[in-house]
Amino acid sequence: MHEHPLQRFFRSLRERPVFAWERYQLRDVLVIDHPLCQAVFSRQGAQLLHFQPAGQKPWLWCAAKWPQVGAIRGGVPVCWPWYGRHPSENAWPSHGWARLLDWKLLDSSSDEEGVRLHWQLQLCDWKVDLHAHLGQSMDLRLSTEHQDTEPCQLSQALHAYWRIGDVGEIALSGLDGAQGYDQLSRQVCQQQGELRVEGGCQRVFQHEGELQLKDHAWQRELCIDTGDHADTVVWHPGTRPLLGVSWNEVSRFVCVEAAVGGTDSLRLAPGEQAHLSLQARAAG
């Protein structure tokens, strides 16, 4: 098994504090070492890059090499205040500003159930908060408040890269019968049985409740919940090359995301809030 690149922070046998800031690949990262889990956040994007409950393999994939500037590929990028390409400004970055900017860590605490963190980003007339609860499971909640005097449009996603043994040996269950849209064929679709993604996949499903990521190579199953008011996006590039990422790395992740407004963006009135969540637990 290839080691997650951020497991390097946990090789030492010396006792670490629960929370410690480190410098890695030109970014500030918060290393979390708790009896129930190990994790790493980047200040850039408030991006959870590594999460590993005690006694388990890593749950999240992250690229070994990061660009000197720009988005980090892996973990759970916060795509905000738009998801995908901006609807009118072609020169603006894909997936918004949030994953490129430094967030403020307003609070961090630990107890016998794990750790809790509260990150915040203020951008013009927007305020967005990310609350994370990590222990034997993972719970991320994103809240946006629109503080302008005029209505606005919003789309957002928690774009999770799940670590797997091999993309050719996974299956997603729990989507049987779900209606969706295949963005590769540009056609509506309905899922029949388990979903396999080895040849590439970019599908958006209207789906509620948990789905199961069955990883036969690692003999484990993760239950992923994208919430009741979000689309479930399943993505893998297949054989399409990703800049700065080797095929050996690409075969070890699949994206299962919570997204809102990818097709029809939300319209927020002044003072209105929007919420998004992503939760995961080990089956059994």
pLDDT at 212 over 70: yes
Most confident of 21-30, 149-158, 228-237: 21-30
Q: Tell me how far apart the alpha carbons of residues 274 and 260 are, in angstroms, rounded to a whole number.
A: 9
Task: Give the residue-averaged pLDDT of 47-73.
Answer: 96
Q: Work out the number of other CB atoms within 10 angstroms of the CB of residue 56.
A: 14
Determine the Cα–Cα distance for residues 46 and 140; give it in Å rounded to an integer: 11
d(C-alpha 200, C-alpha 167), whole Å: 10
**Annotated catalytic, 257?**
yes
- The residue from 34, 50, 95, 257 that is catalytic is 257
Q: Which of 95, 159, 207, 236 is catalytic?
A: 159
| Predicted local confidence at residue 138, as pLDDT | 98
- Return the pLDDT at 265: 66
Task: CATH number for 76-282: choose from 3.40.50.2000, 3.30.160.20, 3.40.50.1820, 2.70.98.10.
Answer: 2.70.98.10
pLDDT at site 153: 82
Note the pLDDT of residue 247. Answer: 80
pLDDT higher than threshold 60 for residue 263: no
What confidence score (pLDDT) does residue 88 get?
67
Clarify whether 22 is annotated catalytic. no
Has residue 122 got a pLDDT over 90?
A: yes
pLDDT at residue 257 above 90? yes
Q: How far apart are CA 147 and CA 151, in angstroms?
A: 10
